[in-house]
Chains A and B, each alone.
Chain A
């Protein structure tokens, strides 16, 4: 064993090498490099005459100090964190903890709930219209999307990169039934009553796409769904006679139902979304804690064993896919009615990836986690708008994701099962990436 030899020789150099190979040291180095990179990117530009002035200006000026401080803090945290958990048995020990979580006393729970209720019900009314719009367009819709994608990615472990296509299908269905497309519907409806049709259409699209493709594993499924997302977008761009091509649909009316009319005001949309999300959370939590949820967990953990245990894996995967697609279609209707105009550019691949990021950031498989993840990531770029130049905004966004994945890969509020899976995969037991065990290894 080389490490043993090294210890015996007691050479300092190999000692340093060994030290540098440790996970927490590497992590700390990554963090320092990241912070320096951000300092450079967000610093002044160089010029033709003195190409290094940008570097000097970035790294040797006051501008860089906060980044250095942050780098030191993060690196120290990483090194200290390593000290506490490097014992090979630590993850297993953590696994042996009781599986029933900490019991929160009832009064504490009630107070927390009351505070939360005030926060979500009252606080938005105090916000400026800009933030109310952000709350709906950039956060609420994405929360709904993320909760839906969580069923596919978090519960069933299927990597879906074409998720936004179902959002587009929901939105275009709304445009069609409000007669805003070149093709005319048999009857027109207010967008509110398009919900069932749009959900049906998205569900059908999910089943049609899922049927043949869910037999694929992991990365292959990701590529096929990615392709599907692009096909839907490109079809919308090119089918001028049906979708009105790149111009898209204009003037989709606001919701209007039961004597109430939604308007340009964002708040009523916010409350609608609140109700929808609450209902969806209520139902999806039950789903997770049911025969169906356990079957998904089984498939995610080990598809071969799941099938051997009598689970029709394809059927359950299709179910997850269709439920995710319906939720996405539902969100599409709200979006179309809220914004009033849609075109293919609203549904790029990047958006599928953004929603996936929200799910991972919040904690795959944890409903409250992905809600928080979507809310935070929807809010952050708008918050940064006031403090950093527009061209720098996404470097901070990216940095946050990287730091997060280093310190808390399980997400903000991870699900218990998922964090166990992650810890197990660090030990080399099973896969937590949704691709399951190595294909063909059936012993």
Chain B
């Protein structure tokens, strides 16, 4: 019997007259990669913002089931508290600490769990030194894990786009999450970087971290996700395995009927493929 790591039920988020999320429910099984797809403006990022304490939805509940812990309500917590619970995230528009180096970015994530305060830091107490060493080791381990060890001392803003995406993932992993939420990690990356990312998501999943993935790139979704939830106009229109989703007429309709559903940057070749149906079934290379 599999257990859920996250349960969302009847989540509704409104901005004035606009309903950005409309009774969204989903269940994320522990350890699996769950993809959330949908045309632009469907409410995917809004969902992440609700899960991570940035937005406060008007209705609904979000329950996090930490491994070996008690069920916890996520809503009503501040972003840093949500992170402490074990839910980490990345941003659709990369938000690194741009002027800091790659290793500093990751250390900041790791150190959010440490205890050293200003007095300890000023006196460099034994615990401070121990934590500092642990943070260094862990930061380099994570950079190696995401394939950025050689770039450790480079300034974040100077890294290529794909590396920035992976650095953001490493920073999130530094906070020791049980659930990692990735908001369009492949957006703006080149095909080689996409393949690296695919491997990385698998590797993360293998370490036991559950991954909630927003992604436009269907090839990536098909290859890494165990289950898919499709959002359109703030509503869940379909949920199931990638194979089921591909065949679902409602999904095809949403992608075809939505007209300009994706921005060109995320799926450039899709525009060339006339029926979106095929682009769903046989994703572009």
Binding site for B on A (CB under 8 A): 92, 95-96, 98-100, 283-284, 286-287, 290-295, 297-298, 301-302, 304-313, 319, 323, 417-418, 420-421, 424, 429-430, 437, 442-443
Contact = CB atoms under 8 A, between A and B. Distances in A.
Contacts of B98: 301-302, 420-421, 424, 429-430
A177 B113 CA distance: 42
B4 interface: no
Nearest to B93: A443
Chain B interface size band reads 35 or more
Interface stretch (B79-87, B259-267, B275-283): B79-87
Interface in B145-202: 153-155, 157-158, 171-172, 174-175, 183
Nearest to A310: B112
A442 B49 contact: yes
A297 B156 CA distance: 13
A311 B97 contact: no
A170 to B, nearest CB: 19
Contacts, number: 139
Given A307-B79, A310-B113, A301 B100 contact: yes
Contacts of B49: 442
B238 to A, nearest CB: 25
Contact of A290 (B93, B97, B116): B116
B125 to A, nearest CB: 11
B95 interface: yes
Contacts of A293: 121
Contacts of A292: 116-118, 121
Contact of B95 (A100, A286, A305, A319): A305
A309 B171 contact: yes
B59 interface: no
A429 B99 CA distance: 10
Contact of B157 (A284, A291, A308, A429): A429
A295 B153 contact: no
Nearest to B45: A443
Contact of B80 (A294, A307, A437, A442): A307
B65 interface: no
Q: Which of B80, B89, B93 has the most chain A CB atoms inside 10 A of its CB?
A: B80
Nearest to B152: A99
Contact of A323 (B54, B83, B95, B118): B118
Chain A contact residues, majority secondary structure: helix
Interface stretch (B103-111, B215-223, B250-258): B103-111
Which 3 A/B pairs are nearest by Cβ-Cβ distance?
A: A310-B112, A290-B121, A310-B83
A323 B101 CA distance: 26
B10 interface: no
A319 to B, nearest CB: 6
A306 B52 CA distance: 13
Contacts of A305: 91, 95-97
B135 A287 contact: no
A199 to B, nearest CB: 13
A424 B153 contact: no
B83 A294 contact: no
Contacts of B113: 310
B155 A95 contact: yes
Given A99-B153, A304-B95, A311 B100 contact: no
B12 to A, nearest CB: 19
Contacts of B95: 302, 304-305, 308, 437
Contacts of A306: 97, 108
A291 B131 contact: yes
12 contacts: A95-B155, A286-B121, A286-B124, A291-B132, A292-B121, A294-B108, A306-B97, A307-B80, A309-B112, A310-B80, A310-B88, A319-B117
B244 interface: no
Contacts of A421: 98-99
Given A310-B80, A319-B118, A291 B135 contact: yes
Nearest to B55: A442
Q: Which of A297, A312, A443 has the most chain B CB atoms inside 10 A of its CB?
A: A443
B1 interface: no
A98 B111 contact: no
B92 interface: yes
B104 A286 contact: no
A294 B136 CA distance: 13
Contacts of A437: 95
A95 B157 contact: yes
A388 to B, nearest CB: 40
A417 B132 CA distance: 20
Nearest to A290: B121
A429 to B, nearest CB: 6
Contact of A304 (B54, B107, B121, B172): B54
A291 B158 CA distance: 23
Given A310-B112, A429-B98, A420 B155 contact: yes
A291 B89 contact: no
A286 B183 CA distance: 36
B128 interface: yes
Contacts of A284: 122
Nearest to B104: A294
Nearest to A427: B157
